[in-house]
Every structure is written in structure tokens, then in C-alpha cells.
Structure 1
Amino acid sequence: DANWYMDTSATSHMTSAQGNLTSYFNMSNKHCIIFCNGHSIPIHGYGHTKLLFPCPPLTLNNVLHAPQLVKNLVSVRKFTTDNSVYVKIDPFGFSMKDFQTGKPVMRCESQGELYPITKPTNPYTFAVVTASLWHDHLGHPGAPILNSLRKNKLIKCNQIKGSRIFHSCPLGKHVKLPFYASNSCTIMPFDIIHSDLWTSPVLSSSGHRYYVLFVDDYSKFLWTFPLSQKSQTYSTFLNFKSLIRTQFERDIKNIQCDNGTEFDNGPFWEFCKANGISFRFSCPHTSPQNGKDERQIRTINNIVGTLLAHASLPLSFWHHVLQMTT
């Protein structure tokens, strides 16, 4: 085997072939190489040589010649000291960089259990591209994407572990924590009325741009009222309250809604205060707190859109379909 192998436990460079050395000196005294298992083999001499790649060549000084060796070994300790480089070993090979500047010197891939010093196939393989650099360059994708690109040989880098966390990733990709389902429940109809206003992107043929939704928390029954202007929300609520009082002989106790100005305004506040109705506003930027209304609006809009598409009617007819749906 003519290859040289990096060895972190060897205290000296050593080779089995005298021809690997450019200069050679015989050793008169009997010396031997002692292995960790206690066995030893004789040393016939020593010499010097150079690795002809990369450029400039790297030197191997005081290489021991022992014909009984199976592999040519490079002592990482002596090699880094003599050539002012440092070696970084990973599961796929090792990288060598200049100790002073940090400039890449060479990169050698390993297919087996040892780390051979192999000649690069082209000069560009000297530039070591780490998984972290590819991660940054590709816009911080997840580890499975990087590993898939590497396995398909679309990029060349080391395998990245899924448990590795980049500081910028959670900052740029954070999402809201999930909202848990509410366990609260009412014991009587109209104890809580959920309300929300929806704005249509298309003006209806009857001149309506909005509709307001009222949902009874106890029965889940809902009412919708189309509006031409947002300011009509207050008067519509007065009519709705009268409807509940006349038809069901019940009073509304609480209103759950968002912070829209159609609800959060002076007349609305004064009326509710005079009639003992409590306002329950959702916190800013927490729309799930008003989720019962928003889910109902989504369901209604899905039904309206589907019926319009099935009937080949223009979107401006949404008001008529809304009345039929609810």
C-alpha cells in the first residue's frame, strides 16, 4: 500500500518502503517500534520525504523505515508541528488548514476506517465547504434537506445532525405557541354572545360590503346581518338584543369580540354599561381568543363561495347566498 495514513497515536512518521524516502540514513544501533499491544518490529533506518501535493509540498521529517510495517503512517503531532498546519478530523475524512491564516490547504475523504492522504482530483477540492456554510448559503433549510442534497451529490459537505441548532433559525422561523381548546362552558342561552365583523372584497349587488355575526356560546346557534357600513354594527346589535328579548325572553350578559372600532366605541360602551352587559375583548394580536366566530365565518364563506361557483354566479351575489345559508 503506497498511501500515507494519518495517525493521531503515532509518535513518529514511519514507512515500510525505503523508496518512499528522498534521503536515507542507516541506523547502526538496534532500534525498534513498539506497538500498544507490546509487540515490536526493528527499524532499519530513517529519512526525509515530501508530499508532492498540495502546493507548496508538505514535509515528512525523520521518517522511520521498518520493512515489516503494513501501512505508511504519518504522526499528526509531528506533521502539524513541522508544517505549521492543523488537522480537523470528521467522520467523512479530514481537513488541513494553515495554522497562521486558517486558509484551507487540502481536504481528504475517507471511505473506510482509516484516514489516507489522497491526491485531490482537481484543485477546487482544496476549498472545504462545511455544512454550516451551505446552511447559510441556502437560506437556513432544515437538516433533512441538507442531508438529502448531500446524498444526491448536489452539494458536497459533511452530514449535519438534526439536533444541531443555529441561533438565527429559531429567531427567523419562530411561530406562535398553540392555543389549547377552551374548557369553559355556559349553562344558559345568551350568557355569552360571540361577535365578529367580516369585510367582503367584493361589493354585493345590493350594496353590502360587510356582515356581522352573532353566535350563542350555549347553543352554537348563529345569526348574520349584512351591513353597508361598519357604523351600522351598533344599531344592528340593538335590533338583535330586542329580537332575543322578545323571542326568547332572555337578556344578553356578555359579548366576546375583538378590538375593532365597530365594537370598541362610545355608544356601544354606554349602552352595555346601562344594560349591565359586560364586554370581553380578545387580547391584541391573539385572534384565536375569538376563534369561535372566526371558525364560523370561515365555514360560512366556504359554503357561500362553493354555492356561487356551482351556480356560476358572480361574487357580487354573495349577500343573497348568505341569507339562504344562515
Structure 2
Amino acid sequence: MVHGLPLITHAEELCDSYLAGKLRRLPFPKKTLYRVEDRLELVHGDLCGPITPTTHGGRRYFLLVDDCSRYMWLQLLTSKDEASKAIKSFKAQVETETGEKLKVLRTDRGGEFTSVKSGRYCAEEGVERHLTAPYSPKQNGVVERPN
């Protein structure tokens, strides 16, 4: 099909760039090595969206999962800047419902979660903040590439 392209017959003739392009990430673990014991001990938060089509109310984003129970709360948001307000109302709601205190909130490094205002609120309320590794597609663990 291509004229002038040499035929590669030996594996040692493969260039480093070709091999680097063929590297694959290790599969995500089926089960995490660490799991919390109590509800609200660790809550994962992430914004998903923008979804299309939007809801009838114009909502485009949603978030939040509890690590212990794997219970999911759906907080519908119109825009990303509503995330800190949604976390405040979420915290008040779940603490009232469960009688437990939110201990750790783990999020990605998105601007909606790393703002000074959001950090100050968590510090005042005694909620520990965990931020995931940059550019990590999974929140519950860092996955390494094979050597």
C-alpha cells in the first residue's frame, strides 16, 4: 500500500517512539485496598457535565458519593460556580439525616473545589480536604504505568 516503507522483521528494529505509543496503563483495581468504616468518613465529590440536553430547569452538572455505603447524592447545578454552595447544603442535609459528621471530602483539583472560599469553609467546619493526583481519571487511587 505504501511504496518505500521498509519491512520490519525483527522486534529489535522497533523504535522507542513506537514502543512508547504502545504503552498501556495498568487496569484499575477491582477493589480498593482501603475502605472507610463509617458513613460520611470519606465522601468523593466530582462535577460531571455539562450534560446535554440540560434538565428542564437548566441544570447541567451534578456531584457526590459516600465511600463507605457507596450511596450517591445527586446535586443538580446550573454552573460550576454553584459547587461550593451545593457542598454546604449537602453537608447540612446529610449530617441532619444521618446524625454523623462529614469528616473528609475528596475531590479533584478543579477550580470549583480548590477556591480559597471553599477551603476556608471546610477548615471552619472541620472537614478535612483530600485532593486527587493531577490528571488522574480515578479518584480512589493512583494508578502507575508499567515500566
Same fold at TM > 0.5: yes
Cα distance between partner residues in 1 of 2:126 and 2:52: 36
1:134 aligned counterpart, secondary structure: coil
Match of 1:197 in 2: 47
The number of residues matched between the two structures is 135
Q: What letter corresponds to residue 111 of structure 2 in structure 1?
A: T
Change (3 A) 1:226 1:165: farther
| Structure with greater strand percent | 1
Alpha-carbon offset, residue 284 of structure 1 = 0.8
Counterpart AA for 1:166: L
Q: Which residue of 2 aligns with 1:317?
A: none
- Could you list the runs of 5+ residues in structure 1 that have no partner in the other structure? 1-128, 136-159, 292-326
The alpha carbon displacement at 1:194 in A equals: 0.7
Q: Find the counterpart in structure 2 of residue 166 from structure 1.
A: 14
What residue is the counterpart of 1:285 in the other structure?
135
| Structure 2: distance between partners of 1:202 and 1:261 | 24
The percentage of aligned residue pairs carrying the same residue is 25
Change (3 A) 1:207 1:289: closer
Distance of 1:289 and 1:231 partners within structure 2: 21
Q: Which runs of 5 or more structure 2 residues have no equivalent in the other structure?
A: 142-147
1:255 aligned counterpart, secondary structure: strand
- Rounded Cα–Cα distance in structure 2 between residues aligned with 1:215 and 1:236: 13
Could you state the TM-score of these two structures normalised by the residue count of structure 1?
A: 0.38
Note the C-alpha offset of 1:263.
0.8
Cα drift, residue 164 of structure 1: 4.2
Provide the C-alpha distance between the structure 2 equivalents of 1:279 and 1:261, rounded to a whole number of angstroms. 14
Larger radius of gyration: 1
Which of 175, 187, 190 lines up with 2:24 in the alignment? 175
RCO (CA 8 Å, sep 6+): is it higher in 1 or 2? 2
Report what 1:68 is aligned to. none
Q: Structure 1 residues 188 and 165 mapped into 2: Cα distance closer, same or farther (>3 Å)?
A: farther
Check conservation: 1:258, 1:290, Cα contact below 8 A: no
What's 1:214 paired with? 64
Q: State the shift of 1:224 in Å.
A: 0.3
State the secondary structure of the residue aligned to 1:227.
coil
